[in-house]
Amino acid sequence: MSKSYDAAVIGGGPGGYVAAIRLSQLGKKTVIIEKEEFGGTCTNWGCIPTKAMLTAAHLYREINEKASKFGIKVDNLTYELSGIMKHVKKSVTLSRKGIEYLLNKNNVDIIKGEGRLKDRETVTVNGEEIKARNIVLANGSKAIVFPPFDEIPGIWTSDDVFKMQQLPESILIVGGGVIGVEFATFFSTFGVDVHLVEIAEHILPYEDSDVADEIKKELKKMKVNIYENAKIDEIKKEDEVYITKIRDVTLKTEKVLLAVGRRPNITEDIKNLGIKIEKGVVTDSHLRTSIENIFAVGDVRGQTMLAHVAMYDGIVAAHNIAGEEKEADYNAVPSIIFSNPEISSVGLKEKDADKEKVNIWKFPLSANGRARTMEEKTGFAKVIEDKQTKQVLGVTLISPSATDLIMEGVIAVKYKMTSHQIAESIHPHPTLTETLLGAFEGPLSIHI
């Protein structure tokens, strides 16, 4: 006899486990089905391991570049990759255990296995049938691999980096977006000869050009060779070396990392059930698919493929399954990049703004007192406001801890606050938040 639930969640990533927990909190009998490890891409092959690696790289660079300036004597600074990877593994394991603890604490049934849709109210897993009045698809995504890279042995995706046992002497990173820039930051910090190629006009193509320029300068300081508005004309492997032609340049590297993003994991059962698919699984603002009792959250939707968006999706879907009318609002989604320095942004970008209708205020990090005590000069805060209403439309920040500082901008954009309202709030001194204050103050800003 098959088990029956109010809701079955397929996939234990950020969208899936958050949806399952919230459903149970709302009184719904819930089961979550995961074929591998809980946490999905974010915990196992993305956010968590990458940030663990970058934390090690950031500390190494801080000591290497700043210790003597601060009167700290460090001789013969070195690193051990096995120690870094041990830290990565520990971070991932603790995150997984934390997720499983929360699922158990909230009385969510857990099934390990590959869940497949049989019909609109039945999921098969491990040869058994699970009946559910509602189903949440949280199938996630997978790394994009395409010709000729899928035909050449040994090409890395981001998943493979976390398995490495020694650093390569040289690496070509294909894709200058978030993933590519973060890995270029890591590898270059430890002296790897890094080549970064981006087909768009500049690296970080979804950010403003002034943001890309700042990060480009920092990467070049770390001796990263950057090729923009460029594509790979030819790539082949000879005697354990990859030979790549870019324009009139021929590169020889030990490794090639394909970092051009991810695509929704659309399985055959989803297609066979007739669920509407375009770029990903299509949903309405309530996260319902074309089949009313089936919902989709996170990367499988093929929209903004970020862990925090997946979590938000999971909450929205859960409340709608519980009988509430909750619509998703994506007007204030923060974007974060763990480069060095970090980048964060929310809302309208300068490149997309009508310059006749907005004011754009920038405040340099170099004018911030706290930044000076940290020997930090690269970066700025930028605020875009409506000329008439003074409402904050967008915020961009390049700074140490920018990924944490952006929440002030998220709140301003989400709740349609004015620059004046933010500027009137007393900011602690001396802190990096005053960089944002300077931008919110616009022409009235005071350099500290």
Which positions are annotated as active-site residues?
429
Angle formed at CA 391 by CA 386 and CA 396, multiple of 5 degrees: 80
Residues in the chain: 448
Distances (CA, A) of 368 to 68, 263, 306, 364: 22, 40, 31, 7
Question: Quick one: three-class SS letters along 121-158?
Answer: CEEEECCEEEEEEEEEECCCEEECCCCCHHHCCCCECH
Indicate the residue type of 414.
K
| DSSP string covering 399-412 | ETTHHHHTHHHHHH
> Using the 8-state DSSP alphabet, how is residue 416 labeled?
T
Question: Is 435 within 8 Å of 342 (Cβ atoms)?
Answer: no
Helical (H) or strand (E) element with 435 = helix 433-441
Q: Rounded to the nearest 5°, which phi and psi values hold at 327?
A: -105, 145
What are the structure tokens assigned to 439, written together? 């931008």
Sheet holding 249-253, edge to edge: 232-238, 241-246, 249-253
What are the structure tokens assigned to 153, written together? 């042995």
Helix (H, G, I), strand (E, B) or coil at 25: helix
Query: What's the CA gap between 45 and 42, in Å, rounded?
Result: 6
| Residue of 301, 71, 58, 304 whose CA lies nearest to 189 | 58
| Residue of 376, 61, 393, 51 whose CA lies nearest to 214 | 376
Query: What's the CA gap between 224 and 340, in Å, rounded?
Result: 13
The strand pairing partners of 143, in sequence order, are 262
Question: Is 204 within 8 Å of 226 (Cβ atoms)?
Answer: no
Query: What's the CA gap between 412 and 437, in Å, rounded?
Result: 12
Q: What share of the chain is helix, strand, coil (3-state, %, to 5)?
A: 35, 25, 40
Distances (CA, A) of 13 to 10, 63, 141, 206: 9, 35, 10, 25
Query: What's the CA gap between 419 and 204, in Å, rounded?
Result: 27
